[in-house]
Amino acid sequence: MAKGEMGTSRQALYRKYRPRSLDGIVGQSQVADILRRSLKQGRIAHAYLLTGPRGVGKTSIARILAHEINQLPYDGEATHLDIIEIDAASNNGVEDVRDLRDKVQLAPTSAARKVYIIDEVHMLSKPAFNALLKTLEEPPAHVVFILATTDLHKVPSTIISRTQHFAFHAISPADLAAHLGEIAKSEGIKVSVDALDAIAQRGDGSFRDSISLLDQLSSFADEKDGITLELIQSVLGLAPRDAVDRLLGAVEQRDTAAIVATLDELEKQGIQPTTLADQLVQTLRGRLGEQPQLVGLLDALLVVGTSPQPQLKLLTVLVGAGKPPAAQRTAAARAAKPIPTVLEAPVIVVESASRRTTKPEPKPVEKAPEAPAPKPKAQPASNEPFDWENLVSYVKEHFVALYSVLNKCDYELEDDTLTLYAVRKFNKTKLDEPKYLAQLHEALAECGQHNLTVVALPTSKPPADKKLAKIAAMMGGGQEVSLEEVEKSDG
């Protein structure tokens, strides 16, 4: 507890340390500087749109801006009749906006302008947005709107185009830790450097969440030790750092027994699998520069939180990452998942007669039609030759939404990395979503491809010829096509 605050109640730290002016904004200088210059020059827009993650200062800056537009003092607590805050989550109907549209016609009570702050504006219904749009198109001269949202993609483009848009970003862990240290010093809270870093990591880029966590932990800390890393692990149910390192070491050493034993140990300690997965992700992110081969494990861990059985999912991800190369896998492990019949025909066709005798022919009723041998490509450490057409067909049958993106892609396979050339940023963003990434890995597994690292790029596949690739790069990109394809399209 902070010094001198022995009463039964006190102001929460995140409210106490809210900025009171644009000069006090931390971590969003790109927004504060522009607004400060605009106010100094008297250039005030009729509508502002503040977007970004939660807890990064959108509401605080909206309130500060509202007061500075009217040259009113701001202490974080006082309210003013001409500064109206509206929560769109509970006032999202068309009638609410129509009522607002009538009220904006009234002149301010005492301030120069009437300012409406609409928080979580993306929660408005479509009819409500349409009603708001009419007001934004021709607002009274005495009215300013400040809209704030965490979900920009849910705000109609017609609304965005009629506002001055300011994008907030998540606060870096270093800036968070430094700010938390200043608050702790001011409040007389004893906290170790490691603990500050851990709080900043758990705050996930949010000032509000990080300061609230510091406030919570200060009530559990004793006067002698203060807030320590061990206290944070105990209160938040985090795995000890040495256990996380031990678990990753077991994965790197392909020690399945150690992976299972460590997970069992942490489960008995009450560590939640989703929490442990988050810790592993944070640790791996810090190691990627030195160990880029860990990107596949990092990718797989991202879907643990979306699994209906996260404990089992985490186990399979870690054990799968720790498996030996395919050449060392036993026949029993390969037989654990039957290979689809459609993949057997190409294998039988390309095998020699002498080798074909070692594998029984499938029954006539199940025999797939013969097909030409697939084009030679670098093979991954997997059970089957890579067949792109078969993968796309499987996705089309089982995951229609994923197919709509995947069928626009080209690919390249090198070692255990499958690179998808998605052509557009939109397609890459879709492929990077945990839902679609999980479906793609499932489809790859069903087609006999295990433990591939998938990388999506927002570009077309570069020409194989180095000279052509260089020319394409000079011309801003291009796609390689054959002469036959050009003649066919012309004919």
Distance CA 186, CA 157 (A): 44
345-348: long-range contacts, CB 8 A cutoff, minimum separation 24: 345/369, 345/370, 345/371, 346/371, 346/373, 346/374, 346/385, 346/387, 347/384, 347/385
pLDDT of 214: 92
What pLDDT does residue 157 have? 92
pLDDT score, position 485: 46
Q: What are 187's strand-pairing partners?
A: none
Beta sheet of 143-149, edge-to-edge order: 83-87, 114-119, 143-149, 47-51, 164-167
Q: Where are the domains of the chain?
A: 28-167, 241-323, 327-457
Choices 3.90.1150.10, 3.40.47.10, 3.90.1300.10, 3.30.300.180: CATH for 327-457? 3.30.300.180
Per-residue burial over 319-337, b = 16 or more CB atoms within 10 Å of its CB, e = otherwise: bbbbbeebeeeeeeeeeee
Q: Decide: helix, strand or coil at residue 169.
A: coil
Q: Does the domain spanning 28-167 belong to CATH 2.120.10.10? A: no
Q: What is the pLDDT of residue 183?
A: 92
Mean pLDDT by 10 residues, the chain (491 residues): 49 84 83 91 92 88 92 80 87 80 86 91 88 86 93 92 91 87 91 89 84 89 85 86 89 87 89 89 82 82 86 87 49 42 40 43 51 46 73 90 90 86 87 83 83 84 64 51 46 48
pLDDT given for residue 49 in this prediction: 95
Structure-token pair, residue 350? 């390309």
Strand 143-149 and strand 114-119: the pairing is parallel
pLDDT, position 242: 87
For the entire predicted model, the pTM comes to 0.57
Q: Do domains 28-167 and 327-457 have the same CATH topology?
A: no
341 Cβ contact partners less than 8 Å away, ≥ 6 residues apart: 362, 366, 368
Write down the pLDDT at residue 349. 40
User: Would you state the pLDDT for residue 384?
Assistant: 65
Partners of 227 in beta bridges: 191
pLDDT at residue 483, as a whole number: 44
